[in-house]
Amino acid sequence: MLASVHTLLQSGSARDAVTVAGWVRTRRDSKDFSFIELNDGTCLTNLQILVEPGCPDYANIGNIHTGAAIRVDGELVASPGKGQRWEVRARRVHLVGPAPEDFPLQKKRHTDEYLRTIAHLRPRTNKYGAMFRIRARLAHAIHEFFHARGFYWIHTPIITGADCEGAGELFRVTTLDLANVPKLNGAVDFGQDFFGKEANLTVSGQLSVETCCLALGKVYTFGPTFRSENSNTSRHMAEFWMIEPEMAFADLRDDMALGEDLIRYLVRFVQRECAEDLDLFAKFVDRNLPATLENIAGHEFIRLPYTEAVDILQKSGRKFDYAPAWGRDLQSEHERFLTEDHFRQPVIVYDYPQGLKAFYMRQNDDGRTVAAMDILVPSIGEIVGGSQREERYDNLQRRIRELGFNEADYWWYLDTRKYGTVPHAGFGLGFERLLMLVTGVGNIRDVIPFPRTPKHLEF
C-alpha cells in the first residue's frame, strides 16, 4: 500500500513499514550514506530518504539521478537533521524508471520561457506542480460555489453552427477534403460537409445556456472555449476555459453581486485550502501577492457607472495615449488607472454605451446605454464581462436587424423571448485569468498545462 508524501509529512508518529513512490528531485551523497529528495506530486514539500550502506540497494545509488522514478520501502523516523521533521530510512530502493544525465530539469531555477519548451516535463517542477494543483482545486471550488447556491452545471456544445454569437474569430470544424473542396456556384458547398452546414468551435456557451436558464432558473457552463484571434499577448490563448453563469429573474445588480461573490469566495478558498502552494508564488513570483489577495477578499468592489468612469479619467490630469471620451472603449491604460492608481482595488464598471457592447445586452431607459458590466482587477484588467440580457422580444429583434445580422440564424434565441420570457442576467469569467490573479503569474501560458496560441501547437 503506497503512502503519499503529503500524508507521511503530516504523520503524528513514526511508522514502521511504509512504501512511497515518486520522482527524485535531487540526491546528496556523503561518504557513508545518501540523501534523496522525493516528490510524488501530492504536495510541494519533498520527503527526505536516507539510504545507508546497510541497504542492499546502496551500491547502485549512483544510478538514481534527478528525474528518476523510484519506489522506496522503509520506516518513517524522526529526522535528526535540521529542516524536516520526518524522513524515511530506506530498506529497499527500487529504480522504477531511470532518468539519464541529460534530464532537462536541473536543481536550479529555470526561466518560464525555457520551461514552456518542455511543457511535458514542467509539471515536475515546484512551481508548475503547485500551479496545476491550485488549478484543479480552484476548478472544483467553482463547482462547489455554484452547487451551494442552487446552480446547475450545463454542458453546452463545443461544436456550434454558424456564427450567431458575434464574439471573436472562429475555428472552423470540417471533414471536407481541403485539397479538393466541393463547390456549388463558386462557393464552398457545405451541404457536403459532416453537418451539412458550416460548423465551428464554440466562442461562448452563453446563448445556449440561456435556454436552460429559462427552465432551470440558475445555471452555469464551465468548459473550453476557442477563439482564433491572432492575439500575441500574455493574456490571450486560442483555447481557454470559461465559467458562464446565468440567472433567471435577475437584473444587473444581481449579476454584479454574483460576480463579486464568486471572485471573493475563490480568493478566500485558495488562501485557506492552497496555503503551501500559494506561498511559493508569494515567495518567488509576486511578493505583494498576499496583500493583493487580502485586498480583494477583504473589501467590497467599487461600482462605477461607465459615464462616471470616463469623468474620473478625464478629470484625472493624467496624460493617456488614448484620450478617454464617452462612447469610446476603456483602454488598458484607463483600466489600469482606475484599478491600480485611483481606487487601488477591483472595480465594476457598468451601464456601457450601447455601441460598445453585444446585441443581446439589455437596453437601458436612457436610450443610449445597455445593462452591461465588466469587473476589472489590478494588473490583469478585465476578468469578468457580463450583462442583463435583453428579454423583450421586440427590442432584441430590432437590435439584430440594426446590426445587420441574419434574423433567421437567431430563430431559437428569439423564441426564448417569445415564450415565457423573463429578465435574466449572466457573465463570463476567464478561468486562466482568475488563476493569474490568485497566483500572480504574469503570463497566461503558464497557468495551463498545454497553452494553445498562434503558431503554437506542440505537445
Given the rule CB under 7 A, which residues bind RNA?
26, 28-31, 35, 37, 48, 50, 62, 65-66, 79-84, 87, 89, 101-102, 104, 106-111, 113-114, 116, 167-168, 204, 227, 229-238, 240, 242, 322, 329, 331-333, 381-385, 428-430, 432-433, 442-445, 454-456
Sign of the C-alpha dihedral computed for residues 353, 355, 360 and 362 taken in this order: positive
Nearest residue (CB) to RNA, 38 versus 193: 38
> Least distance (Å) from RNA to the CB of residue 125?
11
Which lies closer to RNA via its Cβ, residue 79 or residue 271?
Answer: 79
CB of 87 to RNA, least distance (A): 5
- Output 35 or 393, the one with its CB closest to RNA: 35
Contact 204, 389 (CB under 8 A): no
CB closer to RNA out of 104 and 290: 104
- Which of 134/376 has CB closer to RNA? 376
Nearest distance from C-beta of residue 260 to RNA, angstroms? 14
**Whose Cβ is closer to RNA: residue 411's or residue 450's?**
450
**C-alpha cell, 147:** 452547487
Q: At its nearest, how many Å lie between RNA and the CB of residue 287?
A: 16
Using a 10 angstrom Cβ sphere, with 0-12 exposed, 13-18 middle and 19 or more buried, the burial of residue 208 is buried
Least CB distance from residue 183 to RNA, whole Å?
27
3-state secondary structure 236-295: CCCEEEEEEEEEECCCHHHHHHHHHHHHHHHHHHHHHHCHHHHHHHHHHCCCCHHHHHHH
> C-alpha grid cell for residue 174?
470540417
CA distances from 203 to 87, 200, 207, 226, 359 (A): 50, 9, 10, 5, 15
Q: How far apart are CA 424 and CA 426, in angstroms?
A: 7
Rounded to a whole number of angstroms, the minimum distance from the CB of residue 196 to RNA is 29
C-alpha to C-alpha distances, 191 to 172, 174, 177, 345, 409, nearest whole angstrom: 15, 11, 13, 52, 17
Alpha-carbon distance of 87 to 74, in angstroms, equals: 10
CB of 94 to RNA, least distance (A): 19
C-alpha cell at 422: 423573463
What is the closest distance, in whole angstroms, from the C-beta atom of residue 85 to RNA in the complex?
Answer: 10
**Cα angle at 316 between 314 and 318, to 5 degrees?**
95
CA-CA distance, 277 to 208, in Å (whole number)? 36
Of 310, 314, 301, residue with least CA distance to 345: 301
Query: Which residue type does 113 have?
Result: E
DSSP code of residue 417: H
Q: Residue 78: in which H helix or E strand, if any?
A: strand 69-78
Coil, strand, or helix at residue 46? Answer: coil
Instruction: Return the number of the residue (86 or 269) whose C-beta is nearest RNA.
Output: 86
25 or 190, CB closer to RNA?
A: 25
190 vs 334, beta carbon nearer RNA: 334
Q: CB nearer to RNA: give 383 or 425.
A: 383
Phi and psi at residue 371, to the nearest 5°:
-80, 70
